Structure 1
């Protein structure tokens, strides 16, 4: 009987009659140390979008999460009590436990994490966030601490090798392939921070011979380098080496692009990329000339039509235009207008955010420092406007953080007049309004940006 059973089983397996073994769903468990009842949020990173998901936390601060991720997924867990968030990567069959707590690094939105279980990919993400992803390392100020470009680049390469070793240990071909692309791109692009940092200290961007050789070593007609944004950065650097105050920056960038690149496909891509950034940044008073220059160098007719149509709308929010008005509510539910706040003799620095937005919450500690820096200054007012549609979550966040600057909310989230009129399709977004209620910048630097104090002070004069 045993022999017969074995043969029958073997025959079934060979003919594929038995169902294939399917890995179990992701099983994530965790705990918040020193839990005080703060909210916990779960989000799934889908590239350009972070999609909220549900997660229940118990009274003792423990939580669990189960979901089917056959292709693997990057999951963000944010905790108010841990004062930050952590990125995790899990795929079906994985079991992971994390213990979250507040730490000294919460200033950049990351909490302390202890991993156990299937944690190799998540540990890699944590290492990435501590190296290439660390805004303190990525800052231009940090780059100025290195005595030479060679020294700075050596640090970048060392970090890259460390990341590659950790990535290899994950043993996940799909994850490795995706993350290796990011590492390669950063190893090529991060070196440019060196010259931007030196520029901010008054040094010429072409003063370091080794960097000049590095920048000129790239094939500007290589489409793969254009996809990695390297051609774009090269043109930006070359433009900084040859400033021209007689024409707008957009006109100059596009003219240099046409002069320094011969591959029309590369020209088309970089020109369109530049126009996207230029428009998202609020354009400038040279909008018409920039659009004409773009039209003259690209063969992408659809992009010409797109940006020409966009330009007609952009006129409303160019620097010097009267800031569009919209409805909003304060924390007590009182209805008012944006025009009730601006145009009162103060520069207004506006933060557009939401509680479910990880990068937005990462900026809050920097907003706190900014508000403290300008506390009592009659020339400036700092405000935050949430696009949260969940009023309970918004109010709970304010009760927890107790921000010392005015807070408002707009109805309808991304469908609001604020997002529509100011062309906001992603957050956080920071906007600067002049003392007279006219626009200074619809895409101002973040509070975590090294340039923020200098930029604000220049507009307070």
Structure 2
């Protein structure tokens, strides 16, 4: 009898929990069976289960307060959704008369979700999406109008005051970032427009209040504004004698000159350090480190730089350097070395099953493989950094990729990460047939410029040693 009561109580409790579970539900009008994914945190994405009529119900797991779940539409429209525990957000997705995706919200947090949708789809680093301007004055005025519209949408939000304050700071930073983006596709505009020059010089590089309130760091937040302002200043000071390999050292020196706030100086110089090492460092690494240590006072940032190997003439990751060898395991556990691939140009994909952007590139890797599968000069290789081999094997069984697949874990992974200064994935690298580095930051398979770049590398003549060490050009 007691057991039956316990079971009945459990069913009641489960039912109560189900009733209180948060839900995102709605309908995609004009749905034609396409896959639509929702970002559920970090790089993780999940395909929505959508009925034939376009309706869907999704119960998200909230990992932290204020977490947004972003629906990614096939036309690249993003639909951020903020939902609290036990809340229900409803939306209807359709097209307007111009064919643009629009989302109409109802239920909980309607006003704040409406704001998030407009912010996500009308504002970009290039300004107001879908519009082009010949002068900064027109461009800036358009952004100011959008900024006013976004402020009005935030003013309508009832409750969620802490989030509203946070979003307003982010929005203000994004508006400045968008204005900095003027002329991104035409550098002459950014260096010649008088109004743009005036705006750039007016940016406060020591705004400690915004720096501390903006929850985003590095390139996405206020730090990114300062870094891009410094880069613009460097372009204005450029001379024919400048060494491109020392550009980040020059940026550090300008940063030290223009920024007095030490917190901001630390954040931006750390961002430069990450960029420097992600690029593989270069022969000026010692000078970079010395300059960095004079500017940055943060112990963790300094430890990061200290832990990086210092490239030298015979040990660096620049184009043309001999690639550092490392080992991988195939599906049978056999060890394979990078040097085993000599004789072919190698395009290598460093990925993991848990990395959303990595997984999104797999169909593009498949297309790249199909393009080159009959070309004996090139080899495509994917190297997983998954810590759980079974998840890697499961993914391979599902996708059945036809190009070589390997995995590194434990000490093998540590060596790969340290030797090639990998701080994030996906990472794509390219090596020539002689085992030398072409680039450790290659274009992604989804980039239309990748194949032309590969063709350019394949067309290069090979060098071979002649008598007495003389270089002979091997013609194709």
TM-score, structure 2 length as denominator? 0.67
SS at match of 1:181: helix
Question: 1:11 is matched with which residue?
Answer: none
3-state SS of paired residue (1:206)? helix
In 2, the alpha carbon distance for the partners of 1:114 and 1:316 equals 57
Shift of 1:91: 0.4
Match of 1:220 in 2: 205
Q: Do residues 193 (structure 1) and 191 (structure 2) align? A: no
Counterpart pick for 2:168 among 177, 180, 184: 180
- CA distance in 2 between counterparts of 1:156 and 1:450 reads 30
Conserved 8 A contact 1:55-1:65:
no
How far 1:189 sits from its partner (Å)? Answer: 1.3
Counterparts in 2 of 1:53-452, with a 5 A limit? 64-65=58-59, 67=61, 71-76=65-70, 87-97=80-90, 117-118=107-108, 120=110, 121-132=112-123, 145-171=132-158, 172-199=160-187, 203=188, 205-224=190-209, 227-243=222-238, 244-246=241-243, 248-300=246-298, 303-312=301-310, 318-319=317-318, 320-329=321-330, 335=334, 337=336, 339=338, 342-346=341-345, 348-363=346-361, 381-388=379-386, 389=388, 390-391=391-392, 394-395=395-396, 398=399, 406=403, 408-412=405-409, 416-417=413-414, 418-419=416-417, 421-447=419-445
Q: Is residue 353–residue 359 contact of structure 2 (8 Å, CA) maintained in 1? A: yes
**Contact kept? 1:351, 1:384, Cα under 8 Å:** yes
Note closer, same or farther for the CA distance 1:119–1:285 as it changes in structure 2 (3 Å cut). Answer: same
Contact map agreement 1:329 1:408 (CA 8 A) in 2: yes
**Match of 2:186, SS?**
helix
- C-alpha deviation, 1:280, in angstroms: 2.8
SS in 1 for 2:182: helix
Q: Does 1:27 align with 2:18?
A: no
Moved more, 405-414 or 284-293: 405-414
Query: SS at 1:196's partner residue?
Result: coil
Q: Give distance in 2, aligned partners of 1:155 and 1:374.
A: 45
| CA deviation profile, 1:45-71 (whole Å, cap 9, x unmatched) | 3xxx4568x999699896542656783
In structure 2, C-alpha distance between the alignment counterparts of 1:177 and 1:411, rounded to whole Å: 44
| RCO higher in structure (CA 8 A, sep ≥6) | 1
2:128–2:143: 8 Å Cα contact kept in structure 1?
A: no
Change (3 A) 1:392 1:294: closer
- Asked if 2 retains the 8 angstrom alpha-carbon contact of 1:44 and 1:75, the reply is yes
Q: Kindly tell me: are residues 131 and 325 of structure 1, through their superposed partners in 2, closer, same or farther at Cα, counting changes over 3 Å?
A: farther
- Single out whichever of 273-282 and 263-272 deviates more from structure 2: 263-272
Q: 1:205 to 1:64 in 2, by over 3 A?
A: closer
Give the superposition deviation at 1:232.
Answer: 1.6
- What is the rounded CA distance, in whole Å, between the counterparts of 2:371 and 2:443 in structure 1? 16
Distance 1:339 1:113, change over 3 A: farther
1:96 is paired with a residue whose SS is strand
| RMSD, matched Cα | 4.8
Provide the aligned length of Structure 1 versus Structure 2.
411
Shift of 1:216: 0.8
- Over 3 Å counting, the alpha-carbon distance change for 1:325 and 1:208 in structure 2 is same
Deviation per residue, 1:379-433 (Å, 9 max, x gap): 655544444541365236626xxx7x83624254998354454343432223233
Contact 1:327 1:410 in 2 (8 A): yes
Which ranges in structure 2 are unaligned for 5 or more consecutive residues?
A: 1-18, 95-100, 212-221, 461-476
> Which residues of structure 1 form unaligned runs of 5+?
1-22, 102-110
> What is the SS of the residue equivalent to 1:443?
coil
Structure-2 residue corresponding to 1:7: none
